Structure 1
């Protein structure tokens, strides 16, 4: 991955992500900015959360798990690698760690913890906060190569692993009802998500099912074959709906561009132009 700005300045949902009844599941890493609320559980490779992040279910990490100060987990934490737990973290269930456990002061784990490796109880540095502040400073002074190396180490990238991380920005809310961020949102291909999506701009990939509405201040794009089970609204942006995509609701925007065989089940309100692309056969 190459970053030219703070990686927590955007909601990024990688290809194949699913929001199931109890958990948000992805093949890659999960990075969550400070003071965010994730009402699902989380399942991924490595799970890294900033200060004061709230989880509504289990955390299941195949690799490492890092939780900074004042995080709150409503159920269990299961870690296949090492765990780094900041001070005053609260876990309502149990914690099981296959590797080493580095745990801070005043941590409360209601149903106990166990680790197969070393257990170190101390007041660790708030790792995620430090790393992202350091990363931001590197980007500000133009040291993009150094920032790239830091990110690679942070998410433990391996040569044979291509999965992009799931990134939830600071102060976000992710729930079965709504995904609310004040940043752009990018959703990959073949995703299945529940909840209304609220963001600055929204880019949805191919063959997704979004069970909720899309609302943005700026532009919205919907990829080929995607289904949006709700309305699509933008305050001052344009909307592009690609081939075979379907909006099962109303569309409100500035200008609207529809690909071949795209469908809108509800009403259309566009202050600007409405453009309908045709297939090559129709053009002939």
Structure 2
């Protein structure tokens, strides 16, 4: 599978004890390791992917070569398994099952449709056709524009969970060597490690965030951990709450946000204040160095 443009977590994603639940689709890059099962509409996994849990899909399931699933696979549609795929549990498919050579399903299978032993369409080709069908656009310019919107820097409004190549997600860690983009109304578990982080509104994270680039937290979020940016800026939106410390080159806090830890910023801390009377731009107060929020 081709490299995606980062870890993209859509709106309303929930990390439960054993599964990641998404309202839309899930795309998993090559060599990714997931300590969760997956529940979604369409689920597509690349080569050498390891998933420790059940896969439950309302649409197709496509798993590419040499991937391992430590659990059951259930789909209300068709299942496509590449060569040397291994499933430790049982496979249930309401539709058809297409399998490549040397596929191993320890728990057996229950398929209502046809069972065909052949090499299914490679995932990289399927992704191409999938995106074309999803976009339903005619010209190359429109397709390119839609793809940019699909994986933009803004809070994702789509419903696709995109996990990049070699990412690792488990109860303790959410790690990707790319940027991370989180939508709104999500409930996430684990410590983020990424190049940068952009989080939407009304999210809850039980963990810390550590990046080399900027960290942006939207409105009404609660972070049960620390925010650390080794080279960038941390910005906290209105009514958000940080239960740990914040460390960055610069820190920008809205006056309604709260933090229970210390603030450490080499180039200063800025407090945003709403301009309620409409005179000019938003007022700010600037502090330098290390301080507790109660000192402001």
Using structure 2 for the length normalisation, give the TM-score: 0.83
CA contact (8 A) 1:68 1:129 kept: no
CA contact (8 A) 1:27 1:163 kept: no
Please state whether the residue corresponding to 2:273 is helix, strand or coil.
Answer: coil
CA contact (8 A) 1:51 1:129 kept: no
Q: Which residue of 2 aligns with 1:22?
A: 18
Please state whether the residue corresponding to 2:124 is helix, strand or coil.
Answer: helix
In structure 2, the gaps of 5 or more residues are 131-138, 149-156, 280-296
In terms of mean alpha carbon deviation, does 272-281 or 56-65 score higher? 272-281
Q: Which residue of 2 aligns with 1:255?
A: 250
Equivalences for residues 59-98 of structure 1 within 5 A: 59-98=55-94
Residues 148 and 92 of structure 1, relative CA distance in 2, 3 Å threshold:
farther
1:113-144 alpha-carbon deviations (Å, 9 max, x no partner): 1211111012334x213456899xxxxxx945
* CA distance in 1: counterparts of 2:100 and 2:199, whole angstroms: 40
In structure 1, the gaps of 5 or more residues are 1-5, 136-141, 152-161
Residues 146 and 120 of structure 1, relative CA distance in 2, 3 Å threshold:
farther
Q: Give the deviation of 1:274 after TM superposition.
A: 1.2
The question of 1:38 aligning with 2:34 is answered yes
CA contact (8 A) 1:70 1:87 kept: yes
* CA distance in 1: counterparts of 2:252 and 2:277, whole angstroms: 17
Larger Rg: 2
* CA distance in 2: counterparts of 1:96 and 1:223, whole angstroms: 40
Please state whether the residue corresponding to 1:176 is helix, strand or coil.
Answer: coil
Please state whether the residue corresponding to 1:271 is helix, strand or coil.
Answer: strand
Q: Which residue of 2 aligns with 1:155?
A: none
Please state whether the residue corresponding to 2:232 is helix, strand or coil.
Answer: coil
CA contact (8 A) 1:11 1:169 kept: yes
Using structure 1 for the length normalisation, give the TM-score: 0.87
Write 1 or 2 for the structure with the bigger share of strand: 2
The question of 1:214 aligning with 2:172 is answered no
1:181-209 alpha-carbon deviations (Å, 9 max, x no partner): 00000001010000000111001111111
The question of 1:128 aligning with 2:109 is answered no
Q: Which residue of 1 aligns with 2:275?
A: 280
Q: Which residue of 1 aligns with 2:4?
A: 8
Please state whether the residue corresponding to 1:129 is helix, strand or coil.
Answer: helix
CA contact (8 A) 1:83 1:101 kept: yes
Q: Which residue of 1 aligns with 2:161?
A: 166
* Alignment RMSD (CA, Å): 2.5
The question of 1:117 aligning with 2:108 is answered no
Select 1:201's aligned residue among 196, 206, 213. 196
Q: Which runs of 4 or more aligned residues in structure 1 lie more than 4 Å from their structure 2 counterparts after TM superposition?
A: 131-135, 142-151
Residues 110 and 249 of structure 1, relative CA distance in 2, 3 Å threshold:
same
* CA distance in 1: counterparts of 2:51 and 2:160, whole angstroms: 18
Equivalences for residues 170-181 of structure 1 within 5 A: 170-181=165-176
